[in-house]
Amino acid sequence: MKFAKYKDFDSFLDALSPGERAICVRLRGLIFDSFPELKETWAYGAPFYKGRKRICFLYPASLPYSGLKEGVNFGFNRANLLSNEHGLLDLGDRKEVAYITVLAEKDIQEELFLEILHEAVLLDRL
């Protein structure tokens, strides 16, 4: 299976289902509203957000190897170093990367997601 190569976020959105699109737009908004200094890059057909290193990414169910039937994984690259005090991050069998699975836009817990994102950005600055 090949990963699609998108030139920008709009072409990425065009390939998504309406539910995935709504989730991705909202999460991207949270990321850039809180941390406009992050850069959007592309890997594995998905948008990644980085400071010094990759911090987080959006991985919809429609991409290969997502492991989802619907929704979007809001992933964190160095999640093994995050506190995860609310238990939202699912590390599974992975050593470093963890996800918050978002099945619908209404499931986005802005305050908690921003708390995790803030911790991840602070970690990146060390």
Q: Do 109 and 121 contact (CB within 8 A), yes or no?
A: no
Q: Quick one: pLDDT at residue 5? A: 81
CA distance 13 to 107: 19
Burial class (CB in 10 A: 0-12, 13-18, 19+), 125: exposed
Round to the nearest angstrom and report the end-to-end CA distance of the chain.
Answer: 36
Torsion of CA 53, 71, 1, 55, to 10 degrees: 0
Domains recognised in the chain with CATH numbers: 9-125 (3.90.1150.200)
Q: Quick one: pLDDT at residue 1? A: 56
What is the pTM (predicted TM-score) of this model? 0.95
- Per-residue confidence in pLDDT tens, the chain, 126 aa: 567 788 789 999 999 999 999 999 999 999 999 999 999 999 999 999 999 999 999 999 999 989 999 999 999 999 999 999 999 999 999 999 999 999 999 999 999 999 999 999 999 999
Q: Quick one: pLDDT at residue 45? A: 92
Q: Quick one: pLDDT at residue 104? A: 98
- As separate numbers, helices (DSSP H) first and strands (DSSP E) second, the chain gives 3, 5
